[in-house]
Every structure is written in C-alpha cells, then in structure tokens.
Chain A
Amino acid sequence: MTGPRPLDRIRVVDFSWFGAGPIAGRTLADFGAEVIRVESEARIDSLRIGQPIPPGKSDSYNLSGYFNNFNAGKLSFLLNMNAERAQEVAYRIVERCDVFLTNHTPRVLAKWDMGYEKLREINPQIVAAYQPMQGVEGPHRDFLGFGAVLTPISGLSHLSGNPEHPPFGVGTNYPDYALNPGHTVVAIVAALRHRERTGQGQMIELAQIESVASTLGPALLDYSVNGRVQTRDGNRSSWMTPHGVYRCRDEARSHPSEPGQNAEVRERWIAIAVGGDAVWSALCATASGGGGAASFVDDVRFATILGRRRDEAALDAALGEWTASQSASDLEATLQAAGVPAALVRDAEDMLDHDAHLAERDYYAYLDHPETGRSAYDGPVVVLSETPGELTAPAPLFGEHTFQVATEILGYSEEEVGELVASGALT
C-alpha cells in the first residue's frame, strides 16, 4: 500500500528517450507523479531494442533491462509525431500536465512546434524542462551528441583515468545517469515549488554540457584564477595518501563469464583512502596484526604525510603487495572495522547478490514484469522517511496505456480514439 508521496497529483509528460530524460521522469514517478511516457515506433527509443534481455527471448520492445530500469512506474502512450493529427494530441497532453520533459534536440522540437513559447500558450502554468546537448541557442546548438560524446566535450574525460593513456572516457555514458537527470529533477521540483507559491510556470533549460561542466568547478577555477590546466591523475587524490585501488586475491567465477572474458578468474580489487595520520596508524595496526607482507608498516619513509606523498609510488607498491594475497571482501570488513575508508570494488553481482547492507535497506526493487519475469530495478535515488519514493509498477509494455491515457486523461471518446488511430497518430 502506497502512502502519500511528495508529487501526488502532479502529472508529467515525459517526451524523452535514452537516459537523461527518462531517468528524471522515473524519479518523478517514484515520488508520486503520474508520468506519461510518449513513444512511437517511428522514433523508437533505442534502449527498447538494446541489451541486456533475458536469455532465450527476442523480438519484443519490452525485454530490455536497460530501458525497463529507467521507465518503471510510467504509462506508455504511443503517439507518432509524423502523423497529421499528432500535434493536436501532443498539445492536449501539454494542456493537462503540470510538467513537460524532453531531451529531444532543438531541431526536432522546432519541427514539432513544441518550444516553450508554444507550450506556454497552451498551458501558462506548465513547467517545461528541456535537455538539449548544448543549449537551445548558440553556435553549437545543433551539434550532435549523446552521453558518449558529451563525456569528452564537457571536460569529464580529460580529468578521468590513467594519465599515461589517452582520455578515452569513464567506461559508460555516465552523465546520462546521475548528473543530467539529477539536476533536471532538482530544477523541476524547485520550479513546482515556485509555481505553488506564485502560480507561475516556467522554462527549464538544462544544456547537458553545462550540467556536467558545472560539476567540475574547482578545475575550471584553477584555470581561470591560476592559469593551471589540471589533468587526470588516475586514482590519486590531491590530499589523501595512500589513495588508490589495489589488487586482491583473484576468485574463481561462480558463473560463466561473457564471451571474451577470462573465464576462470574474477579479478578482485579494493579501494583504500587514507586521509590523515590517525587513519594511517589504524591501517598500519591492522596490517601488522594480520597476515601478508606489510612492509610499509615499519618503513620510516611512510611515517609522515609528507613522506607518504614523496614516495607515493613505492607506498602504492608496498600496499599492493600486502593486499595481493588477501580476500577483498574480508579486507574491506577488517579495514572498515578499524575505521579505515575501504571498499571492495563491487560489480553488479556483488551489488545484487552479495551486499547484505543494500539488501537490508531494500535498495533494489524486484518487480514482476509480464515479459521479463521478476526483475531488478534501481530503487529511488534517495530515501524519504515519511513520504518515501516507491516503484509502484514495472516498466510499461510498449503502448500499454495508449487507450487508457487517451480516454481517461485526455478525455477522448472511444470514437475519437478510433479516428486518431485511423489517422495514424495513435497506435
């Protein structure tokens, strides 16, 4: 039974695709909004046809775990924007929603005539959130891109990874998942609060390059104030030493690996971050009490923070020697018990199946889905004690709610729905 949630009675039209828009819509849905996800086969969200899908299944828009995770709890409404009468339907949705959300490009939105000036005519109180890659104005307005291209453009790639390698990025389309949706939700909820007080809607423009660059403020200021161009520094920290990721004892795989992977061995790593002498002493006390070759414990070079910084490479090597023979998860527990910040470098298996803490907090939600069966979803991004977010339904099937939305929310009669279907607007 769902209790009250902060966004009860707020209706959102989620005119977005891929990650940055849909994840923002999902958070709004988790916290009580009714979210209408507008989709079409003519312009299919590639995530619907992406991997991963359950083994032995195929030929469906409803199987992708990548898509499903970002769209739980929404209503799927099929509207082909190329059809003649689509725009009138789109405007009717806007008229009946509190929030409009899109990450389509300014070009596409101009074609659909869904810029803010138009939406405001239809619904003066609408909170309209746009997520263009580079902004709705400016010389790079029409540049192409998605998460993989945004990561370098926005400055994140240059600042991430091993300085001896080219800046090839962070392994995922990271800005799509945390930064751009998160910022968008903050802006939308703040704008709803302003509307509640003043009756005034507004436009939110989240240029994705600005959203990511704004998280890199210290590096930008280092250039604008000091003229210094910071670069990536691997796993080092500006003030903590030792600070890094250290190899532990390999483990045998409990399951077959992906093709191309080393089938036998599961690499195990531990992250350790030592911020001061007290933590360093705790680490040394732990190391001298346990097994393994802890050559760093009595090494005078490492007795002070200045010494540890001076000989950081030697310290990393000595620490790595000590961790190499140990179980990463045991070491994590031992170090944390001694007050040393440490974490097993978890993979998804660890997260879903072996993390007793996440399990006790019920972070992942397991929802029954008609085509994927019972499957895992990320939980709400934050826990509210009295009005918690909740995943009330799995991801919608493609077009599952078209008729329901058309009749119950948009107020079309069955006959009108039939006409709209015949015109090609609805499917």
Chain B
Amino acid sequence: MVTPADTPGALDGVRILDLTTEMGQYAGKLLADLGADVIKVEPPGGDAARGVGPFAGDRVSRETSLAWWYFNANKRSVTCNLDEHDGRWLFGKLLAGADCLLESFDDGYLDERGFGYEALRERLPNLIYVSIRGFGASGPHAGWKASDIIGLASSGVLTLSGDPGDPPQMLGGQQGYITASLAAAQGATLAIFQQERQGQGQRVDVSMQEALSIAQETAMPQWDFQKTSRERVGASARLPGLGTYKTKDGYLLAMVGAPAGAPWSVLLEWMDEEGAIDEMSEEVADGLRALNWQTLAAALADPAKMAELQKLFPVAEQTLAKFMAERETLPLYEAGQSRRLLFGQVSTPKDLVENPQLQARDWFFELEHDGQTIDFPGPPYRLSETPVRLRRPPPTIGEHNQEVWVGEVGIPADDVAVFSSEGAI
C-alpha cells in the first residue's frame, strides 16, 4: 500500500502511552496507525510479548518477534522500570504530557506503584485511562487471571465453536485479545472525542468477556426467549452443496442455493460444460435443477417431498465432491463467484498474501527491515483524507529513550545516562 507521505492522520496530535502487552497491544496499533503518537513503555528487558513467536528467520530474540513487529510498528519505544523509585518518577513526568494511557496489567499492579486511576484522576483530570482486562476493572472477578482462551471461554463464544465430538475449539488469531483491544480502541477514540469537545478525562474499562459477548450470535437471545441452549454443530453439512469441500490443493466453502446466491441449476450447467455430470442420470439432474431455496423450504414442511429429494442427495454430493477434488481452489472460487455461486476460498496465510483482490488493491505495505523488503499486512480500513500509513518500523527496545526522555520530557542527558546505568531506564 502506497500512501502520500504528507497526509494527516485522524488522530494526529494525540499522545498515548502504551503499557500493554499481548492482551492490549492491538489497541495501541490501531491508534498509532491512525496517526496518534503512541509510545510503548517497556520494562528495561523489553515487553514480555517480544518473546512470543513466530520469529523472523526463526531466530529467537527480543528484536525478532514477528507478532511483536505486527502489533508495534508505528509506535515508539522507551524503557522505564516501574518497580524502582526513579523509574516511577520518570514515568510520572512522561505521563504528565500524555492524553491517554493504555494498560493491561493485572488488577492492582499500577495502583501499587502509585499510578492507579483513582490516584491519577485528580492530578491529571484530562487523562484517558484505558484498562484492558479479562474481566474488567470492577466486580467480583476483577482480579481473575485471563489469557485469550479464557476470554473466549468466559464469554459464551467458545462453546459454539468446534465439532460436537471434540472439546469446544478456540478461534484462531487470538480473537479474544483482538476483540478486547478493539473495544479499547473504540473506548479510547470515543473518550478522546469527548475530551476534546468537553475537556474531561475518564476511565475506559474493557472486559474481554463483555467485549466478546455479542459474538454469541443468536445464543444469547435464544436463552433469554426460549430457555434453550445453542450448542456447537461442527461442520453441520446437512444438504448437498452446503459445506466445506476438499479441492485439489485445499478447501472451498460452498453454499449453493443459499439466499442471494445462485441455485443448483447454475452449478449443474457449469459442471455439464466441463463434462462433470455425464454419469448422472437425467432424472437426478432434473431433480437437482429444480432444487432451490423455495423448493427446499417446501420440502422441509412436507416429509413426502423431502423423501423424494433425499434420493438425489448421495449422487449430488458425490458428483460435486469429485468436481471439487479435481480442481484447484482459487479457480473454483473465482469461476463459481463469476456465476453468482456462493463459493468461498478457505484461504491459508499464503493464499491471502497472494490473493488477487488484495494484490490488486495494493493492501500490503512494504516494510524495509534489516535490509529486507517485507509484505506487511495492511489496515482494516481505508480513510480517504487521513489514510493509514506505515510511518515507522517496529522499534527496538528503548529505541527512543534519548528522543523522548531528553528531547521531549526534558531530562538532562547526563541524568538519563545515570538512570540507564542504575536500571531505571
């Protein structure tokens, strides 16, 4: 993705201190990508999330975590030891010039160090204090420990995922952390908007459990109305043409005949053109041609009609599975969609990097890093006047110590050297 270097950011001029680790780092990323000056405040050895892989070239070090790169590009980094008096003094100085603080510590951690919300609200009434926790900042479970899977489990989302014969299955890509961070970014932008209009800071309290709850889909109102529990159904392929098919090189989701997509007659025409239904009897082919959302709905209400239909299903399923298995995913996906069939490529990370649509839209940034040019995943949205830009590579630990502590906070350079040798920075 190439954007002009002189465009403004939507959050230009907002300074944010990001003390989060895995659970909240995506919030800081979203805000930094929108132009905020996000300073990652790391303990002297570096943020614990720097230890989370994958690593560039599989070389494990504090500077090679690809996950860390992804979530921390566009941020600056300073180090500061909150466990020491001098470190806390320095952090207090830095905080005085910030609009917003993001943190995902365990309940009580910052309070014990003098930086709890209650301690700060009088001193810094304009500060926006964003806390991201598994269970939020109040209530009987506020002190409970959480990681991604704990958020998914505690929110009613995990129970809906997976095959009934397996334990409930986690969603990929740490969606608990992502969703909690997304709630934090929503809260932070709302609070910034409020602060600039009305001049007032506040606490933004994120609970991963609550942020995920709406992703229970129909399960929540179903219990509320009907007192029945929705359970995980796994692949749930009940009808031919609806499900995940093995292709020559991967998988394809098909929803033939679902509302808005083309029906079986369109699929059969295509298969016929390619000689894929030569062995299907005319009777079965005619039956399938007549199969669409409406006829299916009618059959569902009429057991006799359903019994007739069901005679077609084994042949239909077998023929379609063979058609899919002999073809590659991307051509199937594109050709199917061009016929208005609801087909979806089951994309691997490789497929996404090579995805024709993302390529044509120039979605990836190019990141120059260590002499390499890397396809760096693009943003979730495009803003016409304030486009997201990749302004900075991921910072090394404390890369901006001089720039920030000396240049911006105003600590004399000699003092910074002393603080550094004593472990405060």
Contact = CB atoms under 8 A, between A and B. Distances in A.
A318 interface: no
A116 B154 contact: no
B216 to A, nearest CB: 6
A384 B230 contact: no
Interface in A153-205: 153-162, 165-174, 177-179, 182-187, 189-194, 196-198, 200-205
Interface in A365-395: 372, 375-376, 378-379, 381-387
A216 B196 contact: no
Contact of A347 (B159, B178, B360): B159
The B contact surface, by secondary structure, is mixed
A244 B226 CA distance: 31
Contact of A187 (B161, B197, B230, B381): B381
Given A23-B214, A167-B244, A271-B158, A340 B225 contact: no
B361 A137 contact: yes
A426 B346 CA distance: 42
Contacts of A156: 171-173, 175
A424 interface: no
B153 A52 contact: no
B170 A340 contact: no
B161 A160 contact: yes
Contacts of B151: 343
Interface stretch (B133-141, B294-302, B307-315, B408-416): B133-141
A308 interface: no
B193 A6 contact: yes
Please name the 5 residue pairs, one residue from A and one from B, whose CB atoms are nearest each other, closest first. Answer: A65-B221, A159-B172, A217-B70, A271-B153, A382-B187
Given A171-B232, A217-B67, A217-B70, 20 more contacts: A7-B193, A54-B225, A65-B221, A152-B253, A155-B347, A165-B163, A186-B189, A201-B385, A202-B386, A213-B377, A215-B380, A234-B166, A343-B151, A344-B153, A348-B156, A349-B229, A352-B224, A381-B210, A382-B205, A384-B191
Contact of A152 (B155, B183, B215, B251): B251
B4 interface: no
B360 A138 contact: yes
A194 B387 CA distance: 12
Contacts of A54: 225-226
A266 B236 CA distance: 20
Contacts of A222: 54, 66, 349
B170 A235 contact: yes
B211 A382 contact: yes
Interface in A279-328: none
Contact of A221 (B69, B173, B220, B346): B69
A139 B360 contact: yes
B175 A174 contact: yes
Given A187-B383, A228-B54, A235-B167, A166 B361 contact: no
Contacts of B204: 382-385
B350 interface: yes
A99 to B, nearest CB: 12
A200 B210 contact: no
Residue of B141, B144, B186 with most chain A CB atoms under a 10 A cut-off: B186
A256 to B, nearest CB: 7
Interface residues of B, number: 155
A223 B350 contact: yes
A350 B179 contact: no
B182 A183 contact: yes
B26 interface: yes
A277 B5 CA distance: 47
A379 B206 CA distance: 12
B229 A348 contact: yes
Interface string B66-90: 1101110000000000000000000
Nearest to A182: B182
A122 interface: no
Given A55-B226, A134-B357, A221 B378 contact: no
A152 B346 contact: yes
B205 A145 contact: no
B229 A194 contact: no
A160 to B, nearest CB: 4
Contact of A189 (B140, B159, B189): B189
B344 interface: yes
A144 B214 contact: no
A182 B180 CA distance: 10
B404 interface: no
Interface stretch (B37-45, B254-262, B269-277, B279-287): B254-262
Given A348-B216, A349-B223, A258 B229 contact: yes
